[in-house]
Amino acid sequence: MNSANNHPLLEVKDLGVTFTDDKGSLQALNQISFSVDREQFICVVGPSGSGKSTLIRVLAGLLAPTSGEVVLDGIPINEPRQGVGIVFQKANLMPWRSVLRNITLPLEINHVPQNEANERASELIELVGLTGFEDWLPHDLSGGMLQRVAIARSLIQDPDLLLLDEPFGALDALTREKMGAELLRIWRVRKKTVIMITHDISEAVFLADRVLAISPQPGNLRLDLEINLERPRQEDDRFSPEFVVYTQQLRDAIR
Ligand SMILES: Nc1ncnc2c1ncn2[C@@H]1O[C@H](COP(=O)(O)OP(=O)(O)OP(=O)(O)O)[C@@H](O)[C@H]1O
Ligand SMILES: [Mg+2]
């Protein structure tokens, strides 16, 4: 990948997506523009149907824009590419493969020798707190553990950009807060650029350097809000006056 550091890692320029089928057409995203610097943590919030998953699919190269373009490290995205990791709401693990073998799968596909794959996976298993569970099968894991596996798998090829689409959406509130804190730790240690979708405004403010608020139908970027809360963030930050103002601004933006 081009390592010139004088441009943002990601540039989204006048992005529009319209879905057309025999019943008609639906504009999911309209004229979305923003850019993301290296090692930023961005959250995207918006009501259901505002085009958040559509945006992630375009950024991942899984869906072509109808108009505008997305440029990653100076190169327009038009197909999935190395350097981008993705985590979805459902972990989507292979049920017959162990934790270790699920995490090494992307490397096996790329013919990385098994001892090297195992070594890289072991480091990540430690990073996500699953040491001791290497040989477990997905159906014996909790929802939080499944998402830890999915996060480790998304990091195995050492992507620059990590995309997460409501990764904690299926978890209970306490597990969710814990996983958010874990994700911040991983982001700090691994120095990734993160774009995470969530419908939870407080979660977004707690985690992100910047929160993008999208309004629905068609999805429009209503607010690009910088979150100037000191890092590392503390649980008590959620009760600070600044935090409340940020969440209020975002709520107003997507209403
Ligand atoms: N493949 C598709 N074909 C047609 N319409 C689609 C397709 N994918 C998404 N849409 C429509 O585009 C709009 C945005 O969908 P999207 O899934 O991006 O929303 P979202 O913000 O992720 O919603 P949620 O919070 O419920 O996950 C919706 O109206 C949806 O029905
Ligand atoms: Mg979605």
- Tens digit of each residue's pLDDT (9 = 90 or more) over 237-254: 999 999 999 999 999 999
Can you count the helices (H) and strands (E) in the chain? Answer: 7, 10
Read off the pLDDT of each residue in 1-25 and give the average, rounded to a whole number: 85
Residues of the domain holding 241: 10-83+160-254
Q: What is the pLDDT of residue 216?
A: 85
Q: What is the pLDDT of residue 4?
A: 53
Residue 236 neighbours by CB distance under 10 Å: 8
Read off the pLDDT of each residue in 44-72 and give the average, rounded to a whole number: 96
Q: Are residues 14 and 28 in the same domain?
A: yes
Q: Which of 20, 22, 26 to mutate to test the pocket of ligand 1 (most atoms within 8 A of CB)?
A: 26
Dist. CA 84–CA 161, nearest whole Å? 5
Domain membership of residue 22 (yes or no) is yes
* CATH code (residue 211): 3.40.50.300
Burial-class residue 13 by CB neighbours within 10 Å (0-12, 13-18, 19+).
Answer: middle
Which of 142, 158, 174 is a domain's end point?
158
Question: Which residues does residue 72 pair with via DSSP β-bridges, in sequence order?
Answer: 10, 75
Q: Are residues 143 and 72 in the same domain?
A: no
Domain membership of residue 3 (yes or no) is no
Q: Which of 27, 54, 58, 254 to mutate to test the pocket of ligand 1 (most atoms within 8 A of CB)?
A: 54
Q: Are residues 28 and 55 in the same domain?
A: yes
Confidence bin at 180 (pLDDT 50/70/90)? very high
Read off the pLDDT of each residue in 63-82 and give the average, rounded to a whole number: 93
Is the Cβ atom of 96 under 6 angstroms away from ligand 1? no
Is the per-residue pLDDT at 2 higher than 90? no
* Predicted structure pTM score: 0.95
Confidence bin at 139 (pLDDT 50/70/90)? very high
Q: What is the pLDDT of residue 5?
A: 63
Read off the pLDDT of each residue in 28-57 and give the average, rounded to a whole number: 96
Q: Are residues 176 and 78 in the same domain?
A: yes
Mean per-residue pLDDT of the chain: 94
Question: Which residues does residue 210 pair with via DSSP β-bridges, in sequence order?
Answer: 42, 226
Domain membership of residue 142 (yes or no) is yes
Q: Are residues 136 and 186 in the same domain?
A: no
Which of 158, 176, 197 is a domain's end point?
158
Read off the pLDDT of each residue in 38-62 and give the average, rounded to a whole number: 96
Confidence bin at 81 (pLDDT 50/70/90)? confident
Read off the pLDDT of each residue in 73-89 and give the average, rounded to a whole number: 92
Domain membership of residue 225 (yes or no) is yes
Laid out side by side, the sheet with 161-165 consists of 84-87, 161-165, 193-197, 41-45, 210-215, 220-226
Which of 137, 158, 179 is a domain's end point?
158
- Would you give the DSSP letter of residue 219? B
- Domain tally, the chain: 2
Closest by alpha carbon to 43, among 172, 214, 179? 214
Q: Are residues 137 and 223 in the same domain?
A: no
Q: Are residues 106 and 185 in the same domain?
A: no
Q: What is the pLDDT of residue 49?
A: 92
35 Cα–ligand 1 center, Å: 23
